[in-house]
């Protein structure tokens, strides 16, 4: 497990992880079928080029845990960006003065690994890769452009 600071960015259109960070931490990357063009907030193409890979990671924060797919790209000074699609899906309560986040309106698939672990009462959770791959394919969306 690696602790990182993530940037919540309602202007970003997805979830992103820095390419150098992913490579440096030995995170397995999957190639995309089709590259995704990346645009900066000012509308210019990102210098890091198109997104060609993605990763699936378990993301956790103060008891909230979920499997999430991140697009791999050059983020400069940021390690992880969590964008609008995630914010819309989870609709967290954010205290802008303290920076605190409360997950009171999450979809049912959040914390599923924790629920499974409690049900199995096992110390190690086994993952059915074939079932996860099928679930991933069913949920797959194709986008041509990403905005950071």
Decide: residue 73, CB within 10 A, 0-12 exposed, 13-18 middle, 19+ buried. Answer: buried
Residue at token pair 């009171």: 104
- Kindly state whether residue 138 falls inside one of the protein's structural domains: yes
pLDDT value of residue 109: 77
Q: What is the CATH number of the domain that holds 80?
A: 2.40.70
- Kindly state whether residue 1 falls inside one of the protein's structural domains: no
Mean per-residue pLDDT for 115-132?
42
**Selection from 10, 69, 74 nearest residue 38 by Cα:** 74
pLDDT value of residue 100: 87
pLDDT value of residue 62: 79
Q: Determine which of 27-31, 59-63, 73-77 has the lowest per-residue pLDDT on average.
A: 59-63
- Kindly state whether residue 64 falls inside one of the protein's structural domains: yes
Residue 90 tokens, joined: 């989870």
pLDDT value of residue 126: 39
> pLDDT band at 123, cuts 50/70/90?
very low
Mean per-residue pLDDT for 1-27?
91
- Kindly state whether residue 123 falls inside one of the protein's structural domains: yes
Residue 121 is part of which domain span?
A: 6-147
DSSP single-letter state for residue 117: H
- Kindly state whether residue 119 falls inside one of the protein's structural domains: yes
The average confidence (pLDDT) of the chain is 78
Our count of domains for the chain comes to: 1
- Mapped onto helix, strand or coil, the DSSP state of residue 34 is strand
- Kindly state whether residue 87 falls inside one of the protein's structural domains: yes
- Kindly state whether residue 62 falls inside one of the protein's structural domains: yes
- Kindly state whether residue 98 falls inside one of the protein's structural domains: yes
Per residue in 47-62, pLDDT (tens digit) is 888 999 999 998 888 7
């Amino acid at each position: 497990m690696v602790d990182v600071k993530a940037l919540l960015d309602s202007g970003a259109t997805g979830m992103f992880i820095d390419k150098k960070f992913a490579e440096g931490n030995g995170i397995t990357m999957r190639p995309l079928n089709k590259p995704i063009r990346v645009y900066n907030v000012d509308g210019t193409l990102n210098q890091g080029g198109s997104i060609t890979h993605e990763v699936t990671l378990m993301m956790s924060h103060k008891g909230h845990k979920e499997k999430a797919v991140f697009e791999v790209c050059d983020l400069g000074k940021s390690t992880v960006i969590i964008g609008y699609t995630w914010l819309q899906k989870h609709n967290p309560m954010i205290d802008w003065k303290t920076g605190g986040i409360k997950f009171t309106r999450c979809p049912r698939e959040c914390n599923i690994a924790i629920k499974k672990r409690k049900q199995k009462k096992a110390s190690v959770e086994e993952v059915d890769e074939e079932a996860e791959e099928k679930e991933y394919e069913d949920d797959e969306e194709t986008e041509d452009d990403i905005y950071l």
